[in-house]
Structure 1
């Protein structure tokens, strides 16, 4: 189910039900509230070279530094009940397609030349605690990095509300 579009970059989350997803597009350096009440972390590095940071209380399950083109990013098993967080940072003209097969979820991220953008997606679905792989398809014109994390599901606005 699509979430409302936030910020200058449109973000679309698609996933199987039941799902609680929070998506944000961070094209600034502030901590404004976003869908599901999940704030975007303050950026200390504004480069696609550096993988996105997670919020306090969230743990890293997988990470990949600066990459061009396609790649798979494995992530570790989590605790039962934790949500899966996929944070992607990119720069360069093109669209990055991100899929999480184990959660039956995917989303595109539009990337712009000369601008770094970061998108955070939280997936709270059955089986999100399992280990898996995030598959990224990106044109060679886009430089991207990715962090996969675990954290408590965000309570509040759910897809299709509001």
Structure 2
């Protein structure tokens, strides 16, 4: 939290600084020049001074690459970036599924292509929030190494983590 004491500005200081009116107090009488005085611990203003208190903005969540779920092993990862990029996937065990975890923020759509299994899918990203998606690909060839390519506009920040694990049982989310 930061705190400043301003003299002789009255309520106009709040409007100029875009602070809510409740954050300012004033007792300026308008009689003669004012002087700045140190802020008192009580936070009250005396005639001739304006106390402006600005609170820090709430912390935004840190944008990181998605984590793997329990039971998954890392096949490949691209740390947060924007625009178009590709990364390599390592080989896996026969019978494992690929699980593609995507995280993005910013308004726009990105397009993810997993070449080793011949799959592509769009991802819609929203302005002002971090969106997370997961796609399980229990397909022939999921154990092969390969490349993941992402096309995204510069306004979209994204990251992808690809894991390998046992396919989800049929009839559950992510299963065939």
**What is the TM-score of this pair, normalised by structure 1?**
0.67
**Structure 1 unaligned residues grouped into runs of 5+:** 1-44
Alpha-carbon distance between aligned partners in 2 of 1:46 and 1:52, rounded to the nearest angstrom: 13
Q: Deviations over 1:26-48 (max 9, x none)?
A: xxxxxxxxxxxxxxxxxxx944x
**Structure 2 unaligned residues grouped into runs of 5+:** 1-59
Instruction: Identify the residue that residue 110 of structure 1 maps to in structure 2.
Output: 124
The secondary structure found in structure 2 opposite 1:102 is helix
Cα offset for 1:124?
Answer: 0.7
Instruction: Identify the residue that residue 36 of structure 1 maps to in structure 2.
Output: none
**RMSD of equivalent CA atoms:** 1.9
Alpha-carbon distance between aligned partners in 2 of 1:108 and 1:46, rounded to the nearest angstrom: 24
Instruction: Identify the residue that residue 90 of structure 1 maps to in structure 2.
Output: 104
**Structure 1: which 4+ aligned runs deviate by more than 4 Å?**
none
Match of 1:70 among 79, 84, 87: 84
Instruction: Identify the residue that residue 152 of structure 2 maps to in structure 1.
Output: 138
Instruction: Identify the residue that residue 5 of structure 1 maps to in structure 2.
Output: none
Instruction: Identify the residue that residue 50 of structure 1 maps to in structure 2.
Output: 64
The secondary structure found in structure 1 opposite 2:101 is strand
Q: Could you say which structure has the larger radius of gyration?
A: 2
Q: Deviations over 1:33-87 (max 9, x none)?
A: xxxxxxxxxxxx944x311011111011111111000000211000000001111
Q: Deviations over 1:107-158 (max 9, x none)?
A: 1110011010111111011111000111100000000011011000011227
Instruction: Identify the residue that residue 123 of structure 1 maps to in structure 2.
Output: 137
Aligned residues: 115
Alpha-carbon distance between aligned partners in 1 of 2:82 and 2:94, rounded to the nearest angstrom: 33
Alpha-carbon distance between aligned partners in 1 of 2:157 and 2:87, rounded to the nearest angstrom: 15
